[in-house]
Amino acid sequence: MRIALIITTYNRPDALAAVLEGCVVQTDLNFEVIVADDGSTPVTADLIETYKVRSPFAIKHVWQDDLGFRAAAIRNRALAATKAEYIIFVDGDCVFPPGFVASHRNLAERGWFLSGNRLMLTRSFTEKVLSEKLPIHLWRTGDWLRARWCGHIERLLPLIHLPALTGLRKRFPLRWKGAKTCNLSAWRADLLRVNGLDESYSGWGLEDSDLVIRLLRAGINNKSARFSVPVFHLWHSENDRSQLIENRQRLQIVLNASHTRAIQGVDQYL
């Protein structure tokens, strides 16, 4: 099974570097990375070129003009740029441990998408991680216990590794709340079936919920990947949420509708 890891980013090369460091030490290196760049300056492109040289896997850089927050559009462009059978979506500020790709592969199952969870880092700790290049992707339990004791992280629960939750993982197959594209994976065929993400959402918010709802409506169920594929979410300032009310109204329309395909989706790039 060929896997593509789609990493969204925007003008945060230090965070992207931390994520790519986690990529190069994966126990399963049978994947490609597609950096989905929502209009960053050439500094990000230069960083990606350095990792292309040293990485044991292929890296593609998919870029679009900076016209505001357009995560749905750049993810669609990245989805169109790969032929991989299985897609893992993460954000460019979400670092992950060495077994991340392997765990997604092991949990992947036809008819299901995977939704993982995240561990939030504080602002001060994030600044320390990035300035000192702390290898949190390699940290062990003792390191995280100390971080929790010092108040650098909000909780330890996402770090618990429970691989033997086979039955419980499918307990809420129709749940859409809580599934986010900062840690979500699905079969590319299923994503194309629903026409990817809907770019009609303007600005930050809820385009990932829209995707999940349409996947569920298309018969692709939610399989929990919690306690198996955590990501360490670096702090960032709050995105502009001026369009959130409008996006909520759009999502409510989707909840009341019956369609499965995005109104403005990936098909325009294929």
Predicted confidence (pLDDT) per residue in 236-258, tens digit: 876 655 666 777 877 787 778 88
Confidence of residue 3 (pLDDT cuts 50, 70, 90): very high
Lowest mean pLDDT among 36-45, 50-59, 188-197, 243-252: 243-252
Tens digits of residue pLDDT in 144-189: 999 999 999 988 888 888 776 777 899 999 998 888 999 999 999 9
Instruction: Give the residue extent of every domain in the chain.
Output: 3-269
Tens digits of residue pLDDT in 220-231: 999 999 999 999
Q: What is the pLDDT of residue 118?
A: 92
- Dmax of the chain from CA atoms? 50
**Helices (H), ranges, the chain:** 13-24, 42-54, 71-80, 100-107, 123-132, 141-149, 188-193, 207-217, 244-256
Question: How many other CB atoms are found less than 10 A from the CB of residue 57?
Answer: 17
Q: What is the pLDDT of residue 238?
A: 63
Q: What is the pLDDT of residue 254?
A: 77
Was domain 3-269 assigned CATH 3.90.550.10? yes
Backbone angles phi, psi at 164, to 5 degrees: -95, 50
Instruction: Tell me how far apart the alpha carbons of residues 79 and 73 are, in angstroms, rounded to a whole number.
Output: 10
Confidence of residue 122 (pLDDT cuts 50, 70, 90): very high
Specify whether the CB–CB gap between 153 and 147 falls below 8 A: yes
**Which one is predicted more confidently, 205 or 35?**
35
Find, among 14, 51, 234, 20, the residue nearest to 131 by Cα.
14
Tens digits of residue pLDDT in 61-98: 999 999 988 999 999 999 999 999 999 999 999 999 99
Cα 235–Cα 5–Cα 68 angle in degrees, nearest 5: 55
Tens digits of residue pLDDT in 195-219: 999 998 877 678 899 999 999 999 9
Cα 202–Cα 205–Cα 209 angle in degrees, nearest 5: 110
Confidence of residue 56 (pLDDT cuts 50, 70, 90): very high
Backbone angles phi, psi at 227, to 5 degrees: 65, 25
